[in-house]
Amino acid sequence: MTQTTAIHGEKISLLRVLGPGHVWALGVGIVLVGEYMGWNFAVGKGGAIAALIACWVAGLLYTCVAMIDSEVTSTVAAAGGQYAQAKHIVGPLMAFNVGLFLVFAYTMLEAANAITLGYLVQTVGSMAGFPETHDKPFIVLTIMFLAWLNYRGVYATLTFNLVITAIAFVAIWVLFFAVQPWSSVYMKHGELLTGLPYGWLGVLAALHFGMWYYLGIEGTTQAAEEVRSPARALPLGTMTGIITLLIAATMTWYICAGIMPWEYLGQAVTPLFDAARLTDSNVLMVLLFIGTIFSTLASANGCINDASRAWFSMGRDRYLPQVFGAVHPKYRTPYRSIVFLVPVALVFAYFAPLDQVITFSILSGLLEYTYMAIGVMMFRQKWPLGTIKRGYVHPFHPLPAIVLLLLCSATYFAVFLGYGTQLIAMMVFYIVASLWFALHRYKFVRRGAQFTMPWPKPVGY
Amino acid sequence: MAKTPYKPPTQSAIGQTFDTFFLLALVLAALFVPLYLGLAGGGKTMLELKDTSWTGMGQNATMQAQWEKLGFTPGPKTEENATSAAELIAARFDYAFDPVELAVTALVVLGYFFIVFHWSRKEYRDVIDERFNGKK
């Protein structure tokens, strides 16, 4: 299905040019930066061992997300991903909220990437004898350059992502083998691991940032209208993506926990780059500098792609002002949505601390996963197996949905521990936005046009 | 008889601009209100370190070597000793919480999902009625 938008009376659609490799690059490209920064705040919340447990528990959470997502996405293949799915399964207000979850999870992640890139350039500038190097110009340049790239076209953007993501992934492997994990030349886990400084409560608290290893993998669905074969490419790209990330996350933890004290690791901005510094190898330092820069660029690039598609889809459906539902007549990209989200990312990247920005992103992701667990149960109830054609059927239903719901509940508590105010602030934001939609915005929405799939009437209606 | 589809009003350019800025203001408020009120990151605390030598801060020889490689020094943080590791080592989360606060937060999250799913169900009925218009 290709949905279109009218520009000057002409119907223009997004281009179907992407393959499974691009889907993998979109998913992993957004998330791989989670190995380069942010995950280590889990060490700060519970210690290094707690962060490893959080890494695997969060991996289980995301395996449930990927299983559920693969079934629903391969059946509802439309731009906007989970937003389009919520429209068909739950209803307009939930869809509006899911659209906002996506936009803010990705825009905050983009801001976090720009902060990290700016910090790294400033650090390396100081190390290279330029102490006056300032991070802010690099933050602005990164966001503006990537927005321009996205404005110009999706194929070039995601091909660029494919290349730089692959380089960033290889850099982690090179560092892993360079620190000789089979010996104690660099790895000092025995001397550096200090048990659980906060006890088992710290393990639970660490789940908050444990999500950062994988947050955004579900973004593969945003390319649904631009993929040549959605039923094959989307599940394949998502599943290989989650496997890639599980491997990279475990290697990253092993390197960092074995080379630096947990008090430093728990507050570091660029832990993998710091690990390379501790090896005294200039080659590794340069490689991990490049890897960090590339991973932040790839992630920010994918985030702009995904956030703008979700914003565009909501504009096209009039959930937001319809001015955002336009496709560029020449580049065939959602250019107005891309441009609108630039100042939002800039303000967050320029003024907010990194852990706050990451927390906003994680909370939006968490709300989205909670919806997905309930949404897939409603999906199976409204269209039982055999009533519609599914590209992929996930096994053991409803077990993955129940596990996902339980893990989400635990993670809300983890965020509450230390970041309770942000949790409430975010909830107030979504409650006010929901009231605004239900009481004001919904009157501009065409009712029947919200359901575009060629399916029978849902059971119970 | 077939039900007449709902015809939404066309929103003016001014209305669209107002809606756009309203959403923008809402997003910025969600970030900056906790920051300006000093409530963000309120769950952090600092250990009182009486002895800020490496051993006094609980750092063994390996840890000490790595801190030094990273450019940090022992001792209290002062203008002359700006590279001190003391603040990083002393930083802790305070996980003591009020059960009432936890209950209120849980209620807000649950209430939010209940309202959104409940309201969506009513809107979804309109969508299905109009899309299928009495057909199966």
Residue A4 has phi, psi (to 5 degrees) of -125, 165
What stretches in chain B show pLDDT beneath 70? 1-3, 38-42, 134-136
User: What is the Cα–Cα distance from A317 to A447, expressed in whole angstroms?
Assistant: 10
- Supply the DSSP symbol for B5: P
For the entire predicted model, the pTM comes to 0.88
User: What is the Cα–Cα distance from A221 to A258, expressed in whole angstroms?
Assistant: 36
Cβ neighbourhood burial of B103 (10 Å; 0-12, 13-18, 19+): exposed
B102 and A CB contact within 8 Å: yes
pLDDT digit string, tens, across residues A30-51? 888 889 989 999 999 999 999 9
Answer yes or no: is pLDDT of A213 > 70: yes
β-bridge partners, A447: none
Q: Between these two residues, A66 and A284, which has the higher pLDDT value? A: A284
Closest of A391, A335, A367 to residue A105, by C-alpha: A367
For B:46-65, CB contacts with A below 8 A are 59-63
Q: What is the nearest CA distance from B78 to chain A, expressed in angstroms? A: 19
Q: Can you give the pLDDT at residue B28? A: 85
* A6 SS3 class: strand
Mean pLDDT of chain B: 89
Q: Can you give the pLDDT at residue A5? A: 42
Average pLDDT over residues A323-339: 91
Q: Can you give the pLDDT at residue A440? A: 96
Mutate: best of A422, A431, A443, A455, partner B, most B CBs <10 A: A422
What separation, in Å, do the N-terminal and C-terminal C-alpha atoms of chain A show?
24
Question: For domain A18-450, is the CATH number 2.60.40.1760?
Answer: no
Q: Can you give the pLDDT at residue A9? A: 39
Q: Can you give the pLDDT at residue A331? A: 87
Q: Can you give the pLDDT at residue B24? A: 87
Average pLDDT over residues A369-375: 96
pLDDT digit string, tens, across residues A409-444? 999 999 998 888 889 988 999 999 999 999 999 999
Q: Can you give the pLDDT at residue A6? A: 40
Token output for A91? 């209803």
Mean pLDDT of chain A: 89
Average pLDDT over residues A84-91: 94
Answer yes or no: is pLDDT of A54 > 90: yes
Q: Can you give the pLDDT at residue A434? A: 96
Average pLDDT over residues A356-363: 87
Give A433's contacts in chain B (Cβ within 8 Å).
Answer: 23, 26
Q: Can you give the pLDDT at residue A222? A: 66
Average pLDDT over residues A138-167: 86
For A:25-54, CB contacts with B below 8 A are 44-45
For A:349-368, CB contacts with B below 8 A are 351-353, 355-356, 360
Give B107's contacts in chain A (Cβ within 8 Å).
Answer: none
Answer yes or no: is pLDDT of A446 > 90: yes
Answer yes or no: is pLDDT of A1 > 70: no
Average pLDDT over residues A4-8: 40
* A194 SS3 class: coil
Quote the strand ranges of chain B, DSSP E.
44-46, 91-93
Answer yes or no: is pLDDT of A219 > 70: yes
User: What is the predicted ipTM?
Assistant: 0.87
Give residue A8's pLDDT band: very low, low, confident or very high (50, 70, 90): very low
Q: Can you give the pLDDT at residue B41? A: 57
User: What is the Cα–Cα distance from A387 to A348, expressed in whole angstroms?
Assistant: 45
Give residue A21's pLDDT band: very low, low, confident or very high (50, 70, 90): confident
Count of pairs with CB atoms under 8 A, one residue in A, one in B: 211
Q: Are the beta carbons of A215 and A365 closer than 8 angstroms?
A: yes
Average pLDDT over residues A214-232: 75
Point out the residue among A94, A440, A447 whose CB comes nearest to the CB of B117.
Answer: A94
Answer yes or no: is pLDDT of A262 > 90: yes
Q: Can you give the pLDDT at residue A157? A: 73
Q: How much of chain A, in percent, has pLDDT values that exceed 90?
A: 59
User: What is the Cα–Cα distance from A343 to A239, expressed in whole angstroms?
Assistant: 33
B39 and A CB contact within 8 Å: yes
Q: Can you give the pLDDT at residue A17? A: 66
Q: Can you give the pLDDT at residue A369? A: 95
Closest of A269, A234, A271, A233 to residue A249, by C-alpha: A271
Average pLDDT over residues A156-169: 82
**Contacts for A172 with CB less than 8 Å, ≥ 6 apart:** A35, A248, A251, A252, A272, A291
